[in-house]
Structure 1
Amino acid sequence: MYLNCRTYFSLRYGTYSTEELVTTAADHGIHVLALTNINCTCDSWDFVNSCQQKDIRPVVGVEIRNEDTLLYILLAKNNKGFASINEFLSFYLQHKKNFPEQASTWFQNSGDVYIIYPFDRKAAGDLLPDEYTGILASELNKLFGTDWKKYEHKLVVRQPVTFQNKQYFNLHRLLRAIHKNTLLSKLPVETQAAPDETFVSPATLLEQFRQFPAIVTNTYKLLDACRIEMDFKVDKNKKCFSATAEDDRVLLEKLATEGLMARYGKKNKAAQDRMQKELKIINDLGFNSYFLINWDMIRYAQSRGFYYVGRGSGANSIVAYCLRITDVDPIELNLYFERFLNPERTSPPDFDIDFSWTDRDDIMDYIFKRYGRKHVALLGSYTTFQHDATIMELGKVFGLPVEEIKGLQRTVQPTDKIQRLILQYGRLMKNFPNNISIHPCGMLVTEKPIYEYAALFMPPKGFATTQMDMFVAENIGINKFDVLSQRGLGHIKESLRLIKANRSIDVNIHDFHNFRHNTAIKDQIRKAETIGCFYIESPAMRQLLKKLRCDDYITLVAASSIIRPGVAQSGMMREYITRFHNRDKIVYLHPLFEAHLSETFGVMVFQEDVIKIAHYFAGLSLGEADILRRAMSGKYRSGNKFKHVKDKYLANCRELGHTDELAHEVWRQMESFAGYSFNKAHSASFAVESYMSLYLKTFFPREFMVAVINNFGGFYSTELYFIELMKAGGIIHAPCINNSEQYTSISGNEVYTGFVHIRALQENSMQQILEERKAGGAFLHLQDFIERTQIGLEQLNILVSVGAFRFTGKTKKQLLWEANFLQKKNKSHIPVSESLFVEKPVEFSLPVLTDNAVDDLYDQKEILGFTLSNPFSMVDEDTDNYIPAREIGNHLHQVITVLVYFIASKHVQTKNKDIMFFGTFIDKDLDWVDTVHFPDAARNYPLHSGGFYKLTGRVVEDFGVYSIEARKTVKVGFKKRSYDTLK
């Protein structure tokens, strides 16, 4: 009788989790249950799985609504009906159309879907064979006085299930208010569910319908006719890349063998043996087509000249290396293939393939077209309600001012009844799905049409996306292809273009072997001159490179992993650095650590190290060890699985004679790494790309920094990349209407700032300038520009103020005067394109109007967001009175004062829940100053914003890296503007 049940995947409506809904039904003794979420089938697979565990027969369907209007409920008679429902949903969601008032227009010839209309929505006499009317207990009185017996065979019981009890009904109302973006007190009744939409017991329902036994019988019959079979073990991926599975096996071996010859030559027996071992496992586990589809994707990228990096656990595979899916040599780095794929691994493998952000959509479009739109989709995901967002949303619903809401977010200490309610209901709705979104990179390619597994929607990106997340896809046996977007590759691609255009040099960016042994690049890493370089430019990473005196590939691979948050916070990063510099004093936790982790000085640096220790120290199989690693990293949603692997680990340790103290310490170290560290292949892939960036930055620094600027991606703001370009010898010019392009350009050492950095310049204005200049040549003067472009006065004034007309030789004040006059004159003037003769420019007789250098800097800062010269030219302080960054090391343990310009800061929470932060600044010579602000200093002298600071603190040193422990931080002002206009 329960044919209209919802979970919290009826977004901002239902309050049951999927598992809780099924458990509650089982507690009521219910044997058949239908899931009908509003306009989605998101959790259908989880629902079926939960029902199977509780011995409940599942029925899947959907409740169709246009806004708040219930149109009908669809129930799948069978798997074909489920696919039809998904296809129906997908069509209307993707085309963003209202659902039809009558479902029969879509399903009339189906025979696989039941349609249940709410009472009074469709006349009983008009109902088709598979159509019914659902009636609520509260609507039964409407039958009296009607000739309902004529159509009683078309009536079924509808008892919606939306929330658990009165408290959750309140939560439902709060969710509706959030959805409607309205105060709770103003929430319309028609947008809410009825208060009785709870799990009424079967006995109660039967009592309510005791006078209408035929309706109850109809309901049982309808549900009994529904049979859904979902096999979670059947492989649902595209089975063959070529014609047959055997053809796939032969093709993969052929391609791998050819690649092996190119990578290793003819005589590398170890490589040949490993390749054959991997090919057998790949074939036995049915992953030939998975490798070939990834290879096909790479082949297409190569044909289009797209740059890519293959990483993730797939880089552990020599077959992937030979297919050039990755550029990481697994033999050189002793990478475990079992980390990627092993006979005991139940979860699918994955390749993470990075493309430039400019190219990824093209790759995705190719996959859709290559394998068919009915078989390809992006993978969905769900954003969930978490603390800050929940408090903010509930605060708005209750009508609290924003400042009060922010205070509650920080303190979590309620001061009145309303705040207590916000925290109470915030706890209830934590982790509820909030919106259906798109997975950052996952794509699915299935053998059968995707509708057999999920409905699709159309996000702004423009590619069909499943109402299914990665956990469900993995659970039901669909492997995702990870096609990622990365700005770092955009830097590289743009750099190569600029180097070719500016210096006529073709760079072989894949010459990794020479990069890693180049002495200039080694020096660049050792000094941490890495701004703009992929993954190694952040303040923390730069400090780590200095502390390790890193100048080689292997150390950089390790640094890529130990910089991760959990590793640093556990103290293991510091332990690694200490052991790195004191190798003769290492005390290993256990002899097995020395045997298997000597390369990393007994510290678990990579995810493979966790697998090694779990295998050798705790006696788990390699497959079990990988399950443990995945459980530690949160890859399993079930807490039971995590508990199971921990119990087995501890039991094995006891059997092997390890003390509980030792076993728990090893577990602590594994846990700190497994959750945050990279697998070794992943780190190695990152390091390869870092070397590409390092090569470009070392030998072509100006082109490289222009490329970084043009890709708008990196750890720092655009301002710092212009500063770095300045340090590299770039002669930077403000935007110019005759020399600038949309993006920043370079010719020789001359750099013209792109129009795109003028924040208030409209896109159409920019395009008008570029198109007119291309068609009619350089602009001759201000009047010529106005007549040819017809740009409005406000946009024109911005261009003048930023200095875009300085080629005229006139001051900005003079040009602003002329611009205003000429604009008025131009309104009645014949456009130059329509004039028969070119008129002479109007000559003005004006007083001498001079510009001021400080005013120019203010104009740049206001219009661009930063200056195009050393920012210290604006500070209202004598820079010579302060110790420069290069001399900080001469004042170790002393308290000094420096004058610095803010670049970045990172806030962290201490064990005592206090806030402290790390600061990154530059001085007048554009050298770095790193600072530590402990809780007292952070509290008493917060960094309010960017700008200049007088910073007083004690100089400290850590592994040769100097920083200042801040004690006092005082904001310093800018020089005042000059408003003199006449001389």
Structure 2
Amino acid sequence: MFLNCHTYYSLRYGTFSVEDLCQLAKATGVHSLAVTDINNTSACLSLVKIAADFNIKPLIGIDFRNGVKQEYVGLAKSNEGFRILNEHLSAHLHPKKPFQSDAPSLEKCYIIYPLEKVMAEKKTHFRDNEFIGVSIESLRKLKFSKYLEFKNQLVVLQTVSFRNKRDYNAHRLLRAIDNNTLLSKLPEEEQGNPEQKMVSPERISEEFRDYPYILENTQAIIENCEVHFKFGKDRTNQNLQVFGKSREEDAEELKKLCFKNLPKRYPNASEEVYTRVQKELHAIISLGYVSYFLINYDIIQYAKSKNYPFIGRGSGANSVVAYIIGITNVDPIELDLYFERFINANRNSPPDFDIDFSWKHREDVTAYIFKKHKNTALLAAYVTFKRRAVARELGKVFGLPKENIDKLSAGYFQLKDLDKIEKLVLQYSNLIEGLPNYLGIHAGGIMILEKSVYHYAGTFLPPKGFPTLQIDMNISEDVGIFKFDILGQRGLSKITDTVEIIHQNRPDAQLPDMEDINLFKNDPNLNHLLSTGDCMGVFYVESPAMRGLFIKLQTKNYLELVAASSIIRPGVSNGGMKEEYIKRHRDPKRRKQAHPVLYKILEETYGVMVYQEDVLKVAHFFAGLSLEEADVLRRGMSGKKTSKGQIEKIERKFRDNCRVKGYPESLIDEVWNQISSFAGYAFPKGHSASYAVESYQGLYLKYYFPLEYMVAAINNGGGFYDLETYLQEIRRYGGKVHPPCINKSDHPIVICGKDVYLGLGYIKELETKVIQRILENRQFFGEFKSLDDFIDRLDISIEQLSLLLKIEAFRFTGLDKHHLLWKAYFKLSKSRSRSKQAVLFKPKHRDFDLPEFEHSLLIDAYDQIELLGFSLHSHFSLLQNEIKPAVKARDLNKYIGQDVEIYGNLITTKRTATKHNDYMYFSTFYDDEGTIFDTVHFPNVAKKYPMWSKGIYLCYGTVAEELGYLSISIKWVARQKTAGDPRLEGNVKRIGA
């Protein structure tokens, strides 16, 4: 009898999950209900999937509302009816068009109008599939209205939005957040009715005992609604099944592509290659994945036609077919990648292909896919309320001042120090933390389906403009929809942009084919960068943790880089396997400590599990599981969905097999625990290999064209570090960094020879339209000759011009910026009106006699901090007091085991929780010579000397060495004071002249 139930997918309104709703129904004795979320279908498939577990008949539909005003409820009679409802919803969500008061003719659907609305609008005409919904509360209104005569149109509409008072309180908070208002000022009409709860069927029968026809009409609707989907093992592949004209032609096309391209990938192909190809083709064709391969191949061909760089990875990278036809550049035979991770008999889903494109090209590739295939949509992701966001939102709802909200959001407080309202915010945070906040977009998921996307859910239209289905990857895979991952990253853009910058800045430079990976792999200069950890700016390998790992490993080739890419992951690292791998890598004698069976299985990685595939190897060869069972284990450990109890069953078999093989219980426990802690976080080997290819391309450009590469890196958003750090890297390689210049700068950073000019876009408060005018005028009429010439050619306010002058964008004139600022104020008064038309004859400018102005490096630095957010001058030159003699980073190897003092400019610091729930810091600094050094701050030091802000620190600690990697174990740090702005503190020491 419950035809209008809300879950928390009634965003910022509902408060519990579809599972909670079913549990409530079971406890109340309800055997049928409808999920009808407000303008949302995210819960519909989930209800159909789990309803049988609760002995519930599922009905699905939509509560169509304008804001919180209910217009009507739509229920699907069938799958076709569900599609029609979804199309109707989407047609309004896309253009953000309000729903009409009357529903259109929606076949194979039931439409229910609430009695209150019908009475208010005096509606008298109803189609055969349209009804009037009456709740227990509105029943008393029905008794005295003319609608009592509409016996065939009356049904029970007992809305369920809350379980209890707690739910209602959470609902009110959500409504206040949605309305951006204080809870005390939340309008009554923006809230649901607190009586909208599930009551027992007996009470429904009792309340409607005088109106049996209402109960009969309601029961008839319930019986006439039948929506079916298959899930899990019963599901069928819902993806596009035929790429060309028929399955048979698709299969022949894939074979043709393989054998046509095989000689290019394997000029001297062995029998092993041909056997592997035939084995894969047989599996791909028999399991029905041909169209999946051809669609990915087509996407790659489009990218190649546009010269878009790409990287193909995922479990599909374990496929020699994918390698041969060019979907990936990872050779699975060279790397001994397991076919069974790619496809096996227990796998009823296609292999994953994650295809990375430049962030600049991804949208165009996505547009091509939507144009090519009819039934296409992006996949949604549910963005939930996180702790910090909840504290911030509820702080506003309760009217707290900003500083109190910031404190609660950051988490820097003691509970005993909080006032009553602050404690209330934290208490109520528990009500909504973890609830869906809004629908976002999956990082890369695109669905290309056989049927209409509306067969499964409604769609909304995010800012990118591509229809996005209101379901996430978990339920979509459960129902047989397998996404294509089209991802965007900035590492590929760094490479393409660097090549373009090189052609402009060094037109005579000779560049190799950037796809010639073997050339890069065998370049000793690039491998030297790896072994020394000199990889700043290079995709995936630039972080302090990677730099330290490379030094400890003495990484010197492609395969070692591939291993490092996986070793750095939490699974290997947290299980203690990273340290053991490093020691065995550096000391061949230590490898003998490995268990003989494990060493034989994992000889390449010295008996240590490094890659996800190693779970397959250990489970198969060590424990005797079949390769198919081993892959189910790998998937389960990786967080992928498996059948209920399947992992427990495989664990029992794993242990039983090991006992039969005679392994001691201690070894069985150790290996199983390693698998458990490891598999969920480790990289597949093919994934690591794909990233390693891109890293080598970046290393090549970093070594031979460092300035151009760093400029491209900055213009693509940088990476792990901030802008100042990358600018310091440019200086380290001999480049000179200049403030923005109106004759040299573009919107981003540009390079001319070894001179690097910050872009005009970096100047805070400089309007985009002003930047556009400057660049367009310069392009058409040439460089500006003087301040007067600039004023003649450009319509600009004195406020905008002063920004350019303060940042010294007119330094080419040779005049001091203070002098130019005074001239500008004389020449451009605020009241002066400017014509938009270009002048035919330039006016004669009057000059002014001005006194000499004192120049100060410190004033320049503060102007740069104000306008850029940082200073281009060395931070060491801005200190209030001169630094005293101290150790240099280049000399730390002379002080191993000794206590030292060293000055450092903080680059980055990572706060890490310990197993005792304390925290410690890992920090990275530049010294005054520009050399990097690392520090470790253990919990007792971290608590006493927190690293909350950047700046110059005097660090005191003990120099430690581990396998060639140096760090300082900090005992104390002291932040050094920066000199104040002389214009505000007239007696402060001036620096520079």
Shorter-normalised TM range: over 0.9
Q: 1:148 to 1:511 in 2, by over 3 A?
A: closer
Paired position in structure 1 for 2:810: 805
Distance 2:830 2:142 in 1: 79
Distance 2:725 2:410 in 1: 33
Paired position in structure 2 for 1:61: 61
Amino acid at match of 1:475: D
Matched, 1:915 2:911: no
Contact 1:784–1:841 (CA under 8 A) maintained in structure 2? no
Paired position in structure 1 for 2:35: 35
1:228-377 to structure 2, matched below 5 A, reads 228-232=227-231, 233-372=235-374, 375-377=375-377
Matched, 1:77 2:82: no
- Which digits, 9 at most, give the CA deviation of each residue in 1:874-928, with x for residues without a partner? 2344356111100111111111111110100001001111111100000111100
Amino acid at match of 1:289: S
Q: 1:185 to 1:615 in 2, by over 3 A?
A: farther
Matched, 1:902 2:906: yes
Matched, 1:443 2:456: no
Q: 1:340 to 1:426 in 2, by over 3 A?
A: farther
Paired position in structure 1 for 2:496: 493
Gap regions ≥5 residues in structure 2: none
Matched, 1:542 2:547: yes
Contact 2:797–2:830 (CA under 8 A) maintained in structure 1? no
Paired position in structure 2 for 1:113: 109
Paired position in structure 2 for 1:461: 464
Distance 1:837 1:166 in 2: 78
Distance 1:390 1:795 in 2: 39
Contact 1:607–1:629 (CA under 8 A) maintained in structure 2? yes
Contact 1:631–1:642 (CA under 8 A) maintained in structure 2? yes
Q: 1:639 to 1:815 in 2, by over 3 A?
A: farther
> Comparing 334-343 with 617-626, which one deviates more in the overlay?
617-626
Contact 1:387–1:409 (CA under 8 A) maintained in structure 2? no
Distance 1:293 1:949 in 2: 55
Paired position in structure 1 for 2:187: 188
- Which digits, 9 at most, give the CA deviation of each residue in 1:855-891, with x for residues without a partner? 2233223222233354433234435611110011111
Give the drift of 1:976. 4.4
Paired position in structure 2 for 1:791: 796
Paired position in structure 1 for 2:88: 88
Matched, 1:772 2:787: no
1:579-978 to structure 2, matched below 5 A, reads 579-587=584-592, 590-636=595-641, 642-654=647-659, 656-824=661-829, 827-828=832-833, 833-879=837-883, 881-978=885-982
Give the drift of 1:197. 1.9
Gap regions ≥5 residues in structure 1: none
Q: Give the SS at the match of 1:46.
A: helix
Give the drift of 1:635. 2.5
> Comparing 37-46 with 52-61, which one deviates more in the overlay?
52-61
Distance 2:277 2:3 in 1: 54
Q: Give the SS at the match of 2:778.
A: helix
Paired position in structure 2 for 1:98: 98
Give the drift of 1:410. 6.1
Distance 2:833 2:418 in 1: 65
Q: Give the SS at the match of 1:813.
A: helix
Distance 1:555 1:475 in 2: 38
Give the drift of 1:672. 2.2
Give the drift of 1:612. 1.5
**Matched length:** 976
Contact 1:124–1:151 (CA under 8 A) maintained in structure 2? no
Give the drift of 1:559. 0.4
Paired position in structure 1 for 2:385: 385
Contact 1:723–1:870 (CA under 8 A) maintained in structure 2? no
Distance 1:180 1:975 in 2: 46
Give the drift of 1:641. 5.3
Q: 1:90 to 1:900 in 2, by over 3 A?
A: same
Q: Give the SS at the match of 2:756.
A: strand
> Comparing 636-645 with 124-133, which one deviates more in the overlay?
636-645
Contact 1:344–1:624 (CA under 8 A) maintained in structure 2? yes
Matched, 1:569 2:574: yes
Distance 2:652 2:65 in 1: 47
Q: Give the SS at the match of 2:4.
A: coil
Distance 2:582 2:914 in 1: 22
Paired position in structure 1 for 2:516: 511
> Comparing 972-981 with 860-869, which one deviates more in the overlay?
972-981
Contact 1:124–1:154 (CA under 8 A) maintained in structure 2? no
Distance 1:336 1:803 in 2: 60
Give the drift of 1:187. 2.8
User: Identity rate of aligned residues, in percent?
Assistant: 44
1:401-440 to structure 2, matched below 5 A, reads 401-402=404-405, 405-406=408-409, 425-440=428-443
Distance 2:658 2:11 in 1: 45
Amino acid at match of 1:140: L
Contact 2:538–2:695 (CA under 8 A) maintained in structure 1? yes
Amino acid at match of 2:447: L
Distance 1:290 1:972 in 2: 60
Contact 2:116–2:138 (CA under 8 A) maintained in structure 1? no
Q: 1:863 to 1:404 in 2, by over 3 A?
A: closer
Amino acid at match of 2:72: Y
Distance 1:199 1:58 in 2: 16
Q: Give the SS at the match of 2:602.
A: helix
Give the drift of 1:828. 4.3
Distance 2:644 2:875 in 1: 53
Give the drift of 1:391. 3.9
> Comparing 427-436 with 921-930, which one deviates more in the overlay?
427-436
TM-score when normalising by structure 2: 0.95
Amino acid at match of 2:209: R
Q: 1:587 to 1:200 in 2, by over 3 A?
A: farther
Paired position in structure 2 for 1:145: 144
Distance 2:212 2:803 in 1: 78
Q: 1:880 to 1:416 in 2, by over 3 A?
A: closer
Q: Give the SS at the match of 1:116.
A: strand
Give the drift of 1:152. 1.5
Amino acid at match of 1:474: E
Distance 1:393 1:651 in 2: 53
- Which digits, 9 at most, give the CA deviation of each residue in 1:737-796, with x for residues without a partner? 111111222222222222122232211111010011112221121122123211111211
Contact 2:798–2:830 (CA under 8 A) maintained in structure 1? no
Paired position in structure 2 for 1:179: 178
TM-score when normalising by structure 1: 0.96
Distance 1:270 1:393 in 2: 61
Q: 1:56 to 1:976 in 2, by over 3 A?
A: closer
Give the drift of 1:177. 2.8
Q: 1:404 to 1:328 in 2, by over 3 A?
A: closer
Amino acid at match of 1:916: M
Amino acid at match of 2:145: T
Give the drift of 1:568. 1.8
Give the drift of 1:649. 3.8
In angstroms, what is the RMSD of aligned CA positions? 2.3
- Which digits, 9 at most, give the CA deviation of each residue in 1:309-343, with x for residues without a partner? 11122211111111111111111110012212222
Q: 1:588 to 1:410 in 2, by over 3 A?
A: farther
Give the drift of 1:968. 1.1
Q: 1:112 to 1:410 in 2, by over 3 A?
A: farther
Give the drift of 1:166. 2.7
Q: Give the SS at the match of 1:751.
A: strand
Distance 1:829 1:396 in 2: 45
Paired position in structure 1 for 2:219: 220
Give the drift of 1:645. 4.5
Distance 2:861 2:678 in 1: 48
Amino acid at match of 1:131: E
- Which digits, 9 at most, give the CA deviation of each residue in 1:453-482, with x for residues without a partner? 121111122211110101111111111111
Contact 1:606–1:679 (CA under 8 A) maintained in structure 2? yes
